[in-house]
Every structure is written in structure tokens, then in C-alpha cells.
């Protein structure tokens, strides 16, 4: 994810939302108040770099993946960032010193009656000796006024812990509501990315409100950073589990998945950080239609065994990885950073109705499809 630009975006968000160590300023809130800092340009350039390095290619199945949609969204994001930088430059004051009118030199204050020199005091008149200035006296010592502290260096007041707790509570309530809706079946969308997205919206609104009112909010900014960091894995997981919400999950193991019913096979499987053999040789063949089997893989090494002589097709989409197809005359191996391909067995090429269709999606994985008679499960 770091190489895809997500790490660059997280760094830019931290730079924009977390307080400066020197004076506690938060660049987003300073920009909202119209006080421009050169760091805003750096943050904008980092966001542009994140889009340009392929932030939308976390997974080929994401809606802003590759092709025309990804290009259009990247250009739109770049234009938005440049527009915000231009707006800040246009509305920011030139300088705190330039905005204040120059002060005229103050005229000396008249001496008080107690400070008047008596005429009878002897005054040296010798031209040879210069007149010595009078000794410093407490009557003549005028303290200089302290220079006002520049507005840009003043630390803005910080929101109270009660406000941070309230925002955190609203985020937790929104996550709980989404979980309950998903559990009851009323919400069937991507759960984790929706939760992180709602938390990002809530914290963003809170940050804007605090900035407009002139408050710093490092606690809310830290919560927004956590939501942004969690957004990457959430998007990846939701993309992987799309179409396999009722699937079995295997993680951090070395195992074999061998479904014996078409219902279990059609629910699919999600494999993460595992070396797994998927044995489909025990499935019954109805001959009346094609059974679609969703298979999702993340950092996994999968070996898929299909019955010999059974027509099979497959769609494989990987964000980094390798796919080997050892069935029929279409046997080949492909590897790519982000792409997809289709495979067809010799029986399906001959016109037979495919008994199984493998819908395989994943990232950083190795996929091998072979016949059960050639490679038996371990």
C-alpha cells in the first residue's frame, strides 16, 4: 500500500492534521482561518503525488481502479488540491507586519514639575570642557513598551476533552449502527470501508468546526488519522470479500478446503496469509448449469484442484501476484502488478457447458489451477 501511494497520503494527512511541535499550529485550521503557510503547498504536492503513484490501484475491483475512471478521478483530485492551494494563497494576508500601519516616532513627554531644573543651579560655561550629560535618574527612565506577540505565533486554545469524547462517542455510535444494520440484513454494502468512511466524515466536520471557531483539536485530528490509516486495509478487505460475504475464512494457516456440496462451494472462501489447497474434486456435477465459486486471496499461496475432464472457466484479477493455469491447451503462467485475465479448460473450449466458474480476486498472492489427478492435495 505504501508503494501504491497510500503511505504518501497518510503522511500528508498527518502533516495537515497533527499540531506542529514548535507552536502547536494545525495547518488545516490555519488555512481555514486564512493564514497561509508554505507547508500547505507541500501537503498539496504530496496528495497529488499519492494520486499519481496509483492510489486508486489498491485492488482492481475498486470502483476507481484502472482505466478511464481512475484517470478521471486522479485528474479531479489533482485539480481539487491545486484549487484549494490557490484559494488559500488568494485569501491569506501578505504578512502580519505589512498589515499593521507604521507607527510614527513618539514625541517626548513633557517633564513633570518635580523634574524641572532650577535656574539657580550652576551650569559650567567653559568652552574647553564639553558639557557632560546628566546622570541617569529614575525620573528620566521611561520603560519601552513590550512588542506585541505576532498573531501567527500565538497558540490557539485547544478544544476540551469533553468535545473529543463527544466526537469519539458519535463515531462509535455510527459504527455500531452500521454493524447492527449489516447484521440484520438491512445494509449489504461494504461494511468496513463504510465504517471508516463515516468516522472520517464525522472527524472532518468536527475539525472544520473547531478551526472556524478558532480552536486547536489534536485529539480529533489523531482520530481522523487512525480512520485514514484503517481505510486502506478496510477497502482491500471489502474488495476481496465482495461476492463472498458468507464465505469461509482461512487465515495464518496451512490447510485444505474441500467442499462437498454445491451450496458450500458457491458461498466461496477467503484466504489471508495462508498456504491453502482448494480441492473441488469432491463436488457433485448436476449438468444443468454452471456453479460460480468465489475465491478471495490476500498474501496467500493457493493451489486449486479441479476434477479431471470437467469443463472449467476462471476469471483471475490480482493486484500483484502470479497465476498459473495448467488445464488444457491454454496452459500458461502470468504475473503482473495489477491486472486480470481469463482461463478456459480444453473441455470448455470444445463447447461443453462449464460445470464450475472460478471467480478469483486477490493481492500479493500466487494462484495455481491444476487437475486433481495431476496434483493430489497434501
Residues 252 and 106: their CA atoms lie apart, in Å, by 78
Tell me the pTM: 0.52
Between 144-153, 176-185, 207-216, the lowest mean confidence (pLDDT) is in 144-153
Name beta bridge partners: 343.
Answer: 314
Are 24 and 156 in contact by the 8 Å Cβ rule? The answer is yes
Q: Is the pLDDT of residue 24 over 50?
A: yes
Tell me how crowded residue 14 is: count the other CB atoms within 10 A of its CB.
16
CA distances from 173 to 167, 183, 192, 210, 221 (A): 10, 15, 15, 21, 19
User: Where are the chain's structural domains?
Assistant: 6-95+156-241, 248-371
What the block records as the C-alpha cell of 314 is 476462471
> Which region among 50-59, 184-193, 332-341, 343-352 has the lowest average model confidence (pLDDT)?
50-59
Report the distance separating Cα 4 and Cα 54, nearest Å: 5
pLDDT in tens, 39-57: 777 777 776 665 554 444 4
**Tell me: the pLDDT tens digits for 156-201?**
788 888 989 999 999 999 999 998 998 888 887 788 888 998 998 8
57-82 pLDDT per residue, tens? 443 334 334 444 444 444 555 555 55
**Residue 277, C-alpha cell as written in the block:** 489447497
Q: CA distances (Å), 304 to each of 210, 225, 352, in order?
A: 54, 39, 21
Highest mean pLDDT among 19-23, 160-164, 253-257: 253-257
Average pLDDT on 94-118 reads 46
Amino acid at each position: 500500500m505504501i508503494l501504491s501511494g497510500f503511505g504518501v497520503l497518510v503522511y500528508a494527512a498527518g502533516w495537515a492534521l497533527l499540531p506542529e511541535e514548535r507552536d502547536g499550529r494545525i495547518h488545516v485550521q490555519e488555512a481555514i482561518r486564512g493564514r497561509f503557510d508554505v507547508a500547505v503547498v507541500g501537503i498539496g504536492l504530496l496528495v497529488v503525488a499519492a494520486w499519481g503513484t496509483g492510489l486508486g490501484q489498491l485492488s482492481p475491483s475498486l470502483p476507481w481502479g484502472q482505466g478511464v475512471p481512475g484517470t478521471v478521478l486522479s485528474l479531479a483530485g489533482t485539480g481539487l488540491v491545486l484549487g484549494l492551494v490557490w484559494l488559500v494563497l488568494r485569501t491569506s494576508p501578505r504578512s502580519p507586519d505589512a498589515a499593521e500601519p507604521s507607527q510614527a516616532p513618539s514625541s517626548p513627554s513633557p517633564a513633570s514639575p518635580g523634574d524641572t531644573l532650577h535656574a539657580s543651579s550652576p551650569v559650567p560655561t567653559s568652552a574647553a570642557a564639553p558639557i557632560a550629560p546628566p546622570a541617569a535618574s529614575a525620573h528620566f527612565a521611561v520603560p519601552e513598551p513590550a512588542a506585541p506577540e505576532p498573531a501567527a505565533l500565538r497558540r490557539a486554545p485547544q478544544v476540551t476533552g469533553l468535545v473529543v469524547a463527544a466526537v469519539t462517542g458519535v463515531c462509535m455510535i455510527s459504527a455500531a449502527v452500521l454493524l447492527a444494520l449489516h447484521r440484520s440484513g438491512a445494509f449489504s454494502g461494504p461494511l468496513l470501508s463504510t465504517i471508516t468512511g463515516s468516522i472520517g466524515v464525522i472527524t472532518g466536520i468536527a475539525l472544520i468546526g473547531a478551526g472556524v471557531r478558532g480552536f486547536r483539536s489534536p485529539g480529533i485530528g489523531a482520530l481522523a488519522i487512525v480512520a485514514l490509516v484503517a481505510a486502506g486495509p478496510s477497502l482491500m478487505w471489502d474488495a476481496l470479500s465482495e461476492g463472498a460475504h458468507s464465505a469461509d475464512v482461512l487465515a495464518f494457516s496451512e490447510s485444505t478446503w474441500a467442499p462437498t456440496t454445491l451450496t458450500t462451494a458457491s458461498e466461496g472462501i477467503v484466504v489471508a496469509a495462508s498456504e491453502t489447497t482448494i480441492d473441488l474434486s469432491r463436488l457433485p456435477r448436476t449438468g444443468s448449469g454452471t456453479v460460480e465459486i468465489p475465491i478471495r486471496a490476500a498474501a496467500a499461496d493457493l493451489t486449486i484442484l479441479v476434477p479431471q475432464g470437467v469443463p472449467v472457466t476462471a476469471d483471475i484479477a490480482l493486484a500483484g501476484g502470479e497465476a498459473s493455469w495448467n488445464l488444457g491447451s491454454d496452459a500458461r503462467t502470468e504475473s503482473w502488478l495489477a491486472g486480470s485475465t481469463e482461463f478456459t479448460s480444453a473441455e470448455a473450449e470444445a463447447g461443453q457447458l462449464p460445470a464450475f466458474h472460478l471467480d478469483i480476486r486477490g493481492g500479493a498472492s500466487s494462484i495455481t489451477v491444476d487437475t486433481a489427478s495431476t496434483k493430489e492435495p497434501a
